[in-house]
Amino acid sequence: MKIKQANAGALTNFEVLDFLQSRGATSDPMGCLGSVAPSECKVFDYLVHGAACNQTRDAVNEFLKRCEKFRLAKAEKLNIINLRPSSQAEIYPFAHETDQSFLKFMW
């Protein structure tokens, strides 16, 4: 992954995990003695146990493509990708003003 513009926007947890993996981060405490800061290893360890570890770039792009018609805000898309809600109750707090058809789309 190459950073083209610093501070261009928020990253998904998947993108952060991918970046940390490219830098050599690992869950092994002894593996973090190299080019990765200890704080980066802690972030990596947190993300590897969440939804980001099972996501792929293709799946994220497919989701973004399929939800374009719902005109979600960038923050809403980011939250959905990062949290990967499994019920309407989990999605409501950050997407409650969205079209009801989006909720039907998700389930």
Number of domains forming the structure of the chain = 2
If asked whether residues 43 and 72 sit together in one domain, one would say no
Q: Centre a 10 Å sphere on the Cβ of residue 91 and count the other Cβ atoms it contains.
A: 21
Q: What is the pLDDT of residues 43-83, one digit of tens each?
A: 999 999 988 999 999 999 999 998 888 888 888 889 889 98
* Residue 45: domain span: 13-54
Q: H-helix or E-strand containing 100? A: helix 100-106
Q: Judge whether 90 lies within some domain.
A: yes
In a domain, 6, yes or no: no
Residue 70 lies in a domain: yes
pTM: 0.76
Asked if residue 98 and residue 70 are part of one domain, the reply reads yes
Q: Is residue 2 part of a domain?
A: no
Residues 6+ apart with CB under 8 A from 45: 27
Residue that wins the pLDDT comparison between 104 and 81: 81
Residue 6 has pLDDT above 90, yes or no: no
Q: What is the DSSP letter of 43?
A: H
- Whether 42 contacts 15, CB under 8 Å: no
Q: In terms of domains, do 70 and 94 share one?
A: yes
Q: Is the domain of 48 the same as that of 73?
A: no
Within a domain: 102: yes
Residues 70 and 100 in one domain: yes
> Are both 44 and 74 inside the same structural domain?
no
**Residue at 19 is within a domain:** yes
Residue 5 lies in a domain: no
Residue 107: the pLDDT is 52
Answer yes or no: is 7 within a domain.
Answer: no
